[in-house]
């Protein structure tokens, strides 16, 4: 496995692969890798001849007072995991390699970026869309893989790819969970042992709501309110719990068949997100 730090090195490597007729998959990450990330790499190896993994803690998707400075940086351990997983190349750039000092361009997906997580983290999805757009331009992959844990992020990226005519297949990979049901996340490391036991109840709240919908409970508003109450009783500070249409994340109506339940809540100092998508 090769590690490069510059755009020119990465493009030279991709150019060699293209000359040999090989396809390329991209797995964008912010590092501190866990089994969920490695599942993306495994799926990427099925989709393409060569796999590029980027490790870049993107400053533009962190808001004021968020954890950019304290976000876990584990580059050495990450590279060892990726080497064992069969990645071909790791792109590990400095911020100055990705962003010009006077950068003026922002990619923004109107509306969709302002809902749910976007409401509590203004500008977050603009930062995500901008850096992913840049990575797509740098790598020019055939396929890019993202975890389904952040369903809104995946929807933002799919919308950007459609609107900007990127010739890239976007693949969503199932959420990897701990035995308790807690979705794996780099931020789970912020949880104390006691908090981690409680954190699994976020997924439990989603399962309860899904089962209520599948059982024919008619009021989505009642289901959402019950879930919010459940989370508060468990010790969370919920931000939102909503029943959405899976295709565009607008509020679901009773005629909609493909649904996603989106939830975000704080537990102590840790912000957790999760979702379940299903058809009724």
Q: Which residues are catalytic?
A: 37
89-91, strands of its sheet edge to edge: 2-4, 89-91, 50-55, 24-29, 143-147, 169-173
Phi, psi of 164 (to 5 degrees): -100, 5
Distances (CA, A) of 238 to 36, 44, 232: 24, 34, 7
The answer to whether the beta carbons of residues 265 and 236 sit under 8 Å apart is yes
Contacts with 63 (C-beta within 8 Å, 6 or more apart), sequence order: 121, 122, 123, 124
Q: Are 130 and 148 in contact (CB under 8 A)?
A: no
Structure tokens at 131: 């850096």
């Amino acid at each position: 496995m090769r590690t490069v730090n510059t755009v020119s090195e990465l493009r030279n490597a991709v150019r060699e692969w293209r000359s040999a007729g090989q396809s390329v998959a991209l797995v964008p990450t912010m590092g501190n890798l866990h089994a969920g990330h490695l599942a993306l790499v495994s799926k990427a190896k099925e989709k393409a001849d060569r796999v590029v993994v980027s490790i870049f803690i993107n400053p533009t998707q962190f808001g004021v007072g968020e954890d950019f400075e304290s976000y876990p940086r584990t580059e050495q351990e990450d590279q060892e995991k990726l080497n064992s997983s069969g990645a071909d190349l790791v792109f590990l750039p400095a911020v100055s390699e990705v962003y010009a000092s006077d950068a003026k361009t922002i990619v923004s997906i109107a509306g969709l970026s302002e809902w749910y997580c976007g409401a509590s983290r203004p500008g977050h999805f603009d930062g995500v869309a901008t850096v992913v757009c840049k990575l797509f331009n740098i790598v020019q992959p055939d396929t890019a893989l993202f975890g389904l844990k952040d369903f809104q992020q995946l929807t933002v990226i799919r919308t950007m790819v459609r609107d900007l005519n990127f010739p890239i297949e976007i693949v969503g990979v199932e959420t990897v969970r701990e035995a308790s049901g807690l979705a794996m996340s780099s931020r789970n490391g912020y949880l104390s042992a006691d908090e981690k036991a409680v954190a699994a109840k976020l997924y439990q709240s989603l399962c309860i709501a899904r089962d209520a919908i599948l059982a024919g409970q008619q009021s989505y508003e009642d289901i959402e309110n019950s879930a919010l109450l459940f989370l508060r009783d468990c010790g969370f500070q919920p931000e939102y719990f909503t029943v959405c249409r899976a295709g565009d994340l607008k509020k679901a109506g009773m005629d909609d068949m493909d649904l996603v339940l989106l939830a975000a809540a704080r537990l102590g100092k840790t912000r957790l997100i999760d979702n379940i998508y299903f058809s009724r």
